[in-house]
Amino acid sequence: MHRKKWGSLFLVLALVAVLALGGCQPAGESEPEVETREADVVVIGGGGAGLAAAVTAADHGAEVILLEKMPRLGGNTLISGCAYNAVDPERQSKQGIEDSIDLHFQHTYEGGDKKGDPELIRVLVENALDGLHWLESLGCEFKDEVYTVLGALWPRSHTNVKPLGTGYIEALENAARERGVEILLETKAEELVQEEDGRVTGVKAVDADGKEVIFKARKGVVLATGGFSANVEMRTKYNPRLTAEIPTTNHPGATGDGIVMAEKVGAEFVGMEYIQLLPTGDPETGSLAGWLAPGVDQMIYVNKEGKRFVAEDERRDVMTNALFEQPDALMYVVSDANSVWEVTSFGETEEQLVEMGKVQKADTLEELAEKINVPPENLVETVAKYNEAVENNHDPEFGKKLLGHKIETPPFYASPRVPTVHHTMGGVKIDTLARVISKDGNPIPGLYAAGEVTGGIHGTNRLGGNAIADIIVFGRIAGESAANSK
Ligand SMILES: Cc1cc2nc3c(=O)[nH]c(=O)nc-3n(C[C@H](O)[C@H](O)[C@H](O)COP(=O)(O)OP(=O)(O)OC[C@H]3O[C@@H](n4cnc5c(N)ncnc54)[C@H](O)[C@@H]3O)c2cc1C
C-alpha cells in the first residue's frame, strides 16, 4: 500500500516534468517554426481598395505584399456595375449637365441623412475626379457619356468600357505586378499582430496549404477586406430584419473578417446598423444582373398590380422600403426599345437576357402584362400617366425628377426584381489620412483602412456610384499613409 502511493506520486511528478519540458516531443526536436515574411506594407484584401493601396504604396517606394483569401482578386469590385461618381466638367458639359463639387457633397451628405463625416465626404468628392484620371493613367478606360446609376441622384456616374468591374481590377492588378507587389491568393488573414504599445506590426494568416504564416509589416498594415453583406450572422446582429431569406448581391467572401480583426485591436466602429438594400435584385440569385434599362430616367417600376409605387430616381433606402410594402415585395422594371444597353454593365445582351427568361419582351404593353401576369388595363394606364408626366416634366403622383423619355416604342421589356442586401455603410472609423481610429479616439499606429470595411462616409444611405469612388480615393490615401509611416 505504502509502495503503491509513492509509485503514483512519482508518475505524477514525471508527467509534470515532461509537460514543462515541452510535451511528449523526443529530445532534440522543437515546435515546428511558424514561417515569417516581411515587407514595408502588408495589404489585406485584393479588391479595388486593397489594390489601389498596394499600387500607391509601391509608388511611394514601399515593398508591398497583398493577401487575398479567395482564389482570385477582385472581391465585390470585380462584380460591381462599375459606376464611378465624379464631377467631371469635361464630360458633363458635352451633355449639358451642370454640376459642382458642392452639389456632389450635398447629395452625399444629405442623401446619407447627415450621418456621414463631412470631412471624409469632402475628401471623397474633391478627389474623385483625380482618382478617375489616375485609373485612366493605369490603362482603365471610361466611356465618354455619364449617366445616373440607380440611387446616384445626379448624372455624374461614369461607366467602364469593359464589363462589370473587370476594367478596374485588370488595370490595378497589372499596375501592382509591374511595381513588384507580391500578390498571394488563397491566403486568409486571421489576426492583426499588435505590440504592447498598441502598434500594429503585422498579420497572422493561413496560406493556400493551410500553413500559418506571419507577415511582418515594417511600416504599416492596410485593412481592405470589404463589407459584410454575405455574413448573415453579422448583418442580423446589426439589423435583425436582414435574415438569410433576403438574398445579397455580394460575392461570398464579403464576410466582415476585417471587422473582427479590427475589433480585437481596439478599433472604433461607426454606423454598423446602416446596411443598404437595393430594390433591384434577381428573385433567384439576388444579383443585380438581368435587366436592361441603362438609367433611372429610362424606366419605371410597377408592382404585381401593374402600378407604380415610388419615384424611380429616389434614394435606395426609400425605394427598397416602398418595395417591402408591395404584394410579395416583388416588382417589375418596365422599359422600351429606346432604353436598351447594347451590352449591360454586367456583360449581358438583350438577346441573352430574353433567351434566359430574365427579361420578358413583347410588342404591346397588353402582351407584356399577360407575360408577367399583371392586369393589362392597369399597366397601360400606368404607362400612359407616366408618359404624360414626362411630357409635362412633372410627376404629380411620385415626384420623380429625372424624367428622361416616354415608354412608347416597342418592343417593351419587363424584368422581375426583389429587395437584396447590397452594401454595409458602417465599419472601422478612419480619419482623412485613412488611419484607423481606436476607441480612445487616437489613431492606432501602423493600421490603415480603406473601402467598404470602413464606416462614416456614406451615412445611412450610400449614393449609387459613390462606393467605387470611395475605394479608389481612400485606397490611394491608405497606401500613401502606410508607405510614409514612421
Ligand atoms: C453586384 C454589385 C454591384 C455594385 N455596383 C456598384 C457600382 O456600380 N458603383 C459603386 O460605386 N459601387 C458598386 N457596388 C459596391 C462596390 O462594388 C463595393 O462597395 C466596393 O467594390 C468594395 O470595394 P473593397 O475593395 O472595399 O472590397 P472588395 O472589392 O469586396 O474587396 C475586398 C477583398 O478582401 C478579401 N478579403 C476579405 N477578408 C479577407 C481576409 N481575411 N484575408 C484576405 N483577404 C480577405 C475579399 O475576398 C475581397 O477580395 C456594387 C457592389 C456589388 C456587390
pLDDT of residue 391: 97
Shared domain for 179 and 285, answered yes or no, is no
pLDDT confidence of residue 31 = 62
Q: How far is the CA of 207 from the centre of ligand 1 (A)?
A: 21
CB 217 within 8 A of CB 201: yes
Phi-psi region of 113 (alpha: psi -120 to 50; beta: other; left: phi over 0): left
If asked whether residues 316 and 373 sit together in one domain, one would say yes
- pLDDT on residue 29: 53
| Averaged pLDDT for residues 73-78 | 98
Regarding the beta carbon of 156 and ligand 1, being less than 6 Å apart is answered no
Cβ proximity of 40 and 219 under 8 Å: yes
Instruction: Give this prediction's pTM.
Output: 0.88
For residue 6, is pLDDT > 50? no
Read off the DSSP letter of residue 147: B
Task: Write down the catalytic residue from 316, 435, 462, 476.
Answer: 316
**Domain contains 5:** no
Judgement on whether residues 193 and 227 belong to the same structural domain of the protein: yes
Q: Tell me whether residue 25 is in a domain.
A: no
**349 and 434, same domain (yes or no):** no
Q: What is the DSSP string of 449-475?
A: E-STTB-SSSTTSPPTTHHHHHHHHHH
**Percent of the chain at pLDDT exceeding 70:** 93
Q: Is the CB of 80 under 6 A from ligand 1?
A: yes
Instruction: Categorize the per-residue pLDDT at 20 as very low, low, confident or very high, splitting at 50, 70 and 90.
Output: very low
Using the predicted structure, report yes or no on whether residue 169 has a pLDDT greater than 60. yes
How many angstroms separate the alpha carbon of residue 337 from the centre of ligand 1?
Answer: 33
Indicate which CATH number applies to the domain containing 336.
3.90.700.10
- Mutational test site, ligand 1, from 73, 80, 260, 477, max ligand atoms within 8 Å of CB: 80
For residues 246 and 360, membership in a common domain is answered with no
Give tens-digit pLDDT for 62-75. 999 999 999 999 99
Give 71 Cα–ligand 1 centroid separation in angstroms.
15
224 Cβ inside 6 Å of ligand 1: yes
Average pLDDT over all residues of the chain: 93
Mean pLDDT of 231-254: 96
Looking at residue 26, its pLDDT comes to 44
| Mean pLDDT calculated for residue range 30-50 | 92
For 119-128, 262-271, 341-350, 445-454, which range has the lowest pLDDT when averaged over its residues? 341-350
* Whether residue 127 is found in the same domain as residue 162: yes
90-96, long-range: CB within 8 Å, 24+ apart, which pairs? 91/144, 91/145, 91/146, 91/158, 92/146, 92/155, 92/156, 94/144, 95/145, 95/146, 95/155
Cell of 466: 459613390
Strand, helix or coil for residue 429:
coil
Is 70 exceeded by the pLDDT of residue 15?
no
State in Å: Cα 336 to ligand 1 middle.
Answer: 32
Measure Cα distances from 432 to 102, 157, 180, 192, 244 in Å: 18, 24, 27, 22, 35
Give the pLDDT confidence score for residue 4 in this predicted structure.
45
According to the model, what pLDDT value does residue 30 have? 62
In a domain, 135, yes or no: yes
Question: CA–CA separation, 149 vs 288, rounded Å?
Answer: 12
* Any ligand 1 atom below 6 A from CB of 253: yes
Instruction: State whether the beta carbon of 277 lies less than 6 angstroms from ligand 1.
Output: no
Q: What is the rounded average pLDDT of the residues 207-220?
A: 97
Same domain flag for 173 and 229: yes
276 lines ligand 1 (CB under 6 A): no
Assigned domain for 2 exists: no
- Is the pLDDT assigned to residue 207 strictly greater than 50? yes
Asked if residue 118 and residue 246 are part of one domain, the reply reads yes
Q: Do the domain assignments include residue 84?
A: yes
Residue ranges with strand state E in 371-426: 412-424
The CA distances from residue 114 to 15, 202, 242, 421, in Å, are 64, 35, 24, 22
Q: Judge if the beta carbon of residue 46 lies within 6 A of ligand 1.
A: yes
The CATH number that applies at residue 452 is 3.50.50.60
C-alpha 276 to ligand 1 mean position (Å):
14
Task: From 204, 225, 234, 421, give the residue whose CB has the most ligand 1 atoms within 8 Å, as the site to mutate.
Answer: 225
| Whether 320 contacts 272, CB under 8 Å | no
Residue ID of nearest Cα to ligand 1 atom 45: 45
Residue 182 domain flag: yes
Residues 238 and 358 in one domain: no
Q: 346-404 pLDDT, tens per residue?
A: 888 999 999 999 999 999 999 999 999 999 999 999 999 999 999 999 999 999 999 98
Residue 265 CA to ligand 1 centre (angstroms): 23
d(CA 44, CA 221): 8
pLDDT-derived band of residue 296, with 50, 70 and 90 as boundaries?
A: confident
379 and 437 within one domain: no
27 assigned to some structural domain: no
Q: What SS3 class is residue 150?
A: coil
Q: Is the CB of 223 under 6 A from ligand 1?
A: no
417 is catalytic: no
Calculate the alpha carbon distances from 162 to 169, 290, 352, 467 in Å: 11, 17, 18, 18
Grid cell in block for residue 5: 502511493
> Is the CB of 77 inside a 6 Å radius of any atom of ligand 1?
yes
The protein residue with its alpha carbon nearest to ligand 1, atom 53, reads: 250
Alpha-carbon 264 to chain mean position? 23
Atom of ligand 1 nearest to the CA of 288: 1
Identify the weakest region by mean pLDDT among 30-34, 138-142, 231-235, 439-443. Answer: 30-34
Q: Between residues 344 and 191, which one has the greater pLDDT?
A: 191
Task: For the chain, state the CA radius of gyration.
Answer: 26
End-to-end alpha-carbon separation of the chain, Å? 69
Which residues on adjacent β-strands are paired with residue 184? 67
Residue 45 CB–ligand 1 contact under 6 Å? yes
Quote the ligand 1 centre to 170 CA distance (angstroms).
15
Pocket probe for ligand 1: among 42, 43, 73, 77, the residue whose CB has the most ligand atoms within 8 Å is 77
Report the nearest-CA residue for atom 2 of ligand 1.
80
pLDDT of residue 346: 80
Structural domain boundaries enclosing 471: 36-274+425-484
Name the residue with higher pLDDT: 116 or 26.
Answer: 116
Residue 19 lies in a domain: no
- Give me ligand 1 centre to Cα 462, in Å: 14
In the block, residue with C-alpha cell 482603365: 140
The rounded distance, in Å, linking the Cα atoms of 7 and 94 is: 95
Q: Are residues 305 and 205 in the same domain?
A: no
Determine whether 60 is exposed, middle or buried from the number of CB atoms within 10 Å of its CB (0-12, 13-18, 19+). Answer: middle
What percent of the chain shows pLDDT beyond 90?
Answer: 86
User: What is the tally of structural domains in the chain?
Assistant: 2
**Distances in Å between the alpha carbon of 439 and those of 223, 267, 327, 481?**
17, 6, 44, 21
Domain boundary among 382, 398, 419: 419
Q: Do 54 and 479 contact (CB within 8 A), yes or no? A: yes
Is the shortest distance between the CB of 286 and ligand 1 below 6 Å? no
Which single residue is written with the C-alpha cell 481606436? 438
Q: Is 257 in the pocket of ligand 1 (CB under 6 A)?
A: yes
- Domain check: are 323 and 378 in the same one? yes
Give the distance (Å) from ligand 1 centre to CA of residue 345.
16
